[in-house]
Structure 1
Amino acid sequence: MPHATRRLLLGSLAATLAAPRLLRAQAPVRVTDLLDRQVVLPAPAKRIVLAQARHVLALALLHPDPVSLVVGWGDDLRVINPPDYATVRARFPAADAVPLVGRAQAEGLSLETVVAARPDVVILSRAGLRGGSMELPDRLAALGIPSVAIDFFTDPLRDTRRSMAILGQVLGLEERAAAFDSFYAARLERVATRLAGLDARPKVMMHAHAGGTPCCFSPGKGAFDSMIRFAGGHSIGADVLPGATGQLAVEYVLTQAPEVYVATGGPYGGRGGIPLGPGVEEAVAQRELAAVIRRSQLDSLPAVRAGRAHAIWHGFNDTPAHVVMAEALARWFHPARCGDLDPAATMAELNARFLAIPMQGAHWADLPRRG
């Protein structure tokens, strides 16, 4: 076969193989979001506004340069969580050029700024729509701007897989989303299998933003409570708090005598809380965990005396990476069944296979058992 003819045939074959992908890139995208709305985009989105900037970490599970897609975002990373924003910026300096379109809550979006950004779609958090209000989606639709609602916060174990599938459709990255789904489902199934037939659940005190707020702020029903239940624990906060979060009296916590204590921490260095997340060393988190327990007058808890006191990154409450938290909690709640689970290995695999913005630094810590 002449060389020129062979080259022509190979070129035609390559074009044929690429055709389905090119057709997908040009075809309309039809997606049903978490508000059960049918949303149609002319093509996969290339210009995205994030009502909550922290959802860039979900995009980072699917796209090698998620910031390149973002033409506007809320202020929650820059204002509320500077260490996480610094991690994004270090990886993608173009983050500094992304306009702020309003406050972290969806109702705080500036529609004028959103319109100026000319997005293909606005990604909303269903949890950010107060009372399930459709006012913002309807106002965006009236301006000709499609919006899609996802959610990793309210009931993460129910909504995460569907939310990631929605993002995969919106970005035209269904295969990538399916690969993550397989990883995520397998990790959760491993935990569920270890806990099958469970006949006893330890009482758990989850101390939210421990040390950064008066003792004792705690999750109620939903959000972290679903994670505690999945991992085989029973939250004492969920017994008395009707909403997603609330305040527990120290006396109530002491009376309940929880068997496991879990504090949540984050970007609280110098503000009384437990530092966890980007740039944090485990020894520092352990030291501050001990200090917070002491200041909160929780030293006498059975959990603390038995060395079953821990801290975990609060940011797991709104990212699909919470699969790492599920493993950590299961290991703490049921060491006989789950002691060999390795959340560090799971996080390393997330970094290696998926995350364009790797998770670095201590994201959990254990209080050493008293000698």
Structure 2
Amino acid sequence: MTIAGALRTHLTRLACALAMLAAAGAASAQPVTVTDVLGRTVSLPGPAKRIVLAQGRQLNALGLLHPEPLSLLAGWGADHQRQNPDAYARYRSRFPGIDAIPTVGDGATEAGFSLEKTVALAPDLVILSGSLAGTRHGSGDLVLRLEAVGIKVAVVDFYLKPLTDTVPSLRILGKLIGREQQAEDFIRFYEDRLGRIARRLEGARRPSVFIHAHAGGPECCSTPGRGTFDDFITAAGGSNMSAPLLPGATGQISLEQLISSDPEVYVATGGTHMARLGGLVLGLGVPRETAAAGFAKLLAQPGISTLSAVRNRRATAMWQLFNDTPLHVVAIEALAKWIHPERFADLDPAATLAEAARFSAIPLDGTLWLDAPASGQAPARP
């Protein structure tokens, strides 16, 4: 081949390569339209590249769909570091720039959200949780305030109605960030696990279950009402003892109420946020010995130790932060084993967690639940 011919061949290949890159770029910039969990239509000119997470905890879901979720963030709520320090530490280890991401509020309330800071970050999308977005359509509504200054808003939720909103929320996020296939892969895994549980529960009796949230702190007893862990209990074949007692998603009952109700299954929840209160510590990176020692201390407390569930070795524990992540499928499996051991002897939540870790941007190691103490391992008295 002559030099001129070789040059023409090279230029032709280069032109083809550039055309392919241009086509790929055009494809990635195709308009995106979704319907969020409030039924609102949200349209973007292309997948979002500068996202503000009004609640930082939504990173729990984003990190299941994108291998580098922090690369998409223009800003976020400060709640992730405060409420989920174990996961935050893992993100910081893998993505050292995490501390430089600007915060736009406390991530807890609409009043704590800064519209001014958000506007200054020029995001192409703000993602709100259902609890922040609300359902109001008045002048105080956060959705309307953002839209009034020209900012696109999408509402997703994994907390208030997890069994209703998790799958739609994953699809919404997947489409908005251009990771639809990853979202569908996780949804298939998620629905397969829940379907397996539902099929085995046909005709089953529903034992009473008490969730002792943030257990071991100075007050007893915080517990879920409707939604959140109540949905998990229902999916696992139980009946939430507290649901008829509380008007909202969470609330407080007295220790006396717990003792008199005497649920068949007792489930304590905890996290690394409970360490400073002397409460139950579970979570990412928490050694099993640490979690087990705290659990034994809790079960030996006056009142708690008198429960039938404790005496019958039907007292267990799990990570509180299962309550706002699609990883709650693991929690539901654990609950199903605890509530109906005769139906789910072969169910392996640890294997399900290992499978979920394939999707996760961070390691999912640590102690996220504890089964009831074995016979002969009664908790030591304080």
Q: Could you state the TM-score of these two structures normalised by the residue count of structure 2?
A: 0.90
Counterpart position of 2:133: 129
1:29 correspondence with 2:32: yes
Instruction: Report if aligned partners of 2:216, 2:278 keep a CA contact under 8 Å in 1.
Output: yes
Counterpart position of 2:372: 367
Counterpart position of 2:268: 263
Report SS of the residue matched to 2:126. strand
- Structure 2: 5+ residue runs without aligned partners? 377-382
Which of 238, 257, 262 is the matching residue for 2:243?
238
1:36-58 CA distance string (max 9 Å, x none):
11111111100100011111121
Instruction: Report if aligned partners of 1:266, 1:275 keep a CA contact under 8 Å in 2.
Output: yes
Report SS of the residue matched to 1:341. coil
* TM-fit CA distance, 1:341: 1.1
Counterpart position of 1:184: 190
1:254 correspondence with 2:235: no
CA change 1:9–1:133 in 2 (3 A) is same
What CA distance in whole angstroms lies between the structure 2 residues aligned with 1:272 and 1:167? 37
Report SS of the residue matched to 1:222. coil
Q: How does 1:204-353 map to 2 (within 5 A)?
A: 204-267=209-272, 268-295=274-301, 297-352=303-358
What is the letter of the counterpart of residue 76 of structure 2?
W
What is the letter of the counterpart of residue 30 of structure 2?
A
Instruction: Report if aligned partners of 1:47, 1:71 keep a CA contact under 8 Å in 2.
Output: yes
* TM-fit CA distance, 1:123: 0.5
1:11-60 CA distance string (max 9 Å, x none):
859966994x5443111111111111111111110010001111112111
What is the letter of the counterpart of residue 309 of structure 1?
A
1:39 correspondence with 2:42: yes
1:188-236 CA distance string (max 9 Å, x none):
11111221222x1111111011112511111111111011011001111
What CA distance in whole angstroms lies between the structure 2 residues aligned with 1:335 and 1:116? 54
Counterpart position of 1:358: 363
1:239-278 CA distance string (max 9 Å, x none):
2111111111222211222111100101112412111112
1:46-104 CA distance string (max 9 Å, x none):
01000111111211111110011111111112223322221211121111110111011
1:116 correspondence with 2:120: yes
Shift >4 Å, 4+ stretches:
1-18, 130-134
1:109-156 CA distance string (max 9 Å, x none):
111111111111000001223564661111111111101000000110
CA change 1:29–1:363 in 2 (3 A) is same
Counterpart position of 2:90: 87
> Structure 1 stretch 357-366 or stretch 310-319: which is displaced more?
357-366
Report SS of the residue matched to 1:165. helix
Which of 133, 142, 149 is the matching residue for 1:143?
149
What CA distance in whole angstroms lies between the structure 2 residues aligned with 1:64 and 1:314? 24
Report SS of the residue matched to 1:204. strand
Counterpart position of 1:66: 69
What CA distance in whole angstroms lies between the structure 2 residues aligned with 1:258 and 1:72? 43
What CA distance in whole angstroms lies between the structure 2 residues aligned with 1:203 and 1:170? 40
Larger radius of gyration: 2
What CA distance in whole angstroms lies between the structure 2 residues aligned with 1:157 and 1:206? 18
What CA distance in whole angstroms lies between the structure 2 residues aligned with 1:303 and 1:226? 21
What CA distance in whole angstroms lies between the structure 2 residues aligned with 1:84 and 1:34? 26
> Structure 1 stretch 79-88 or stretch 359-368: which is displaced more?
79-88
Percent of counterpart pairs with the same letter? 50
* TM-fit CA distance, 1:293: 2.5
What do you get for the CA RMSD once the two structures are aligned?
2.2
What CA distance in whole angstroms lies between the structure 2 residues aligned with 1:133 and 1:266? 36
Report SS of the residue matched to 1:338. coil
CA change 1:202–1:11 in 2 (3 A) is farther
Instruction: Report if aligned partners of 1:206, 1:218 keep a CA contact under 8 Å in 2.
Output: yes
Instruction: Report if aligned partners of 2:221, 2:253 keep a CA contact under 8 Å in 1.
Output: yes
Equivalent residue pairs, number? 368
1:298-350 CA distance string (max 9 Å, x none):
11111101111111001011001111101110011111111211111111111
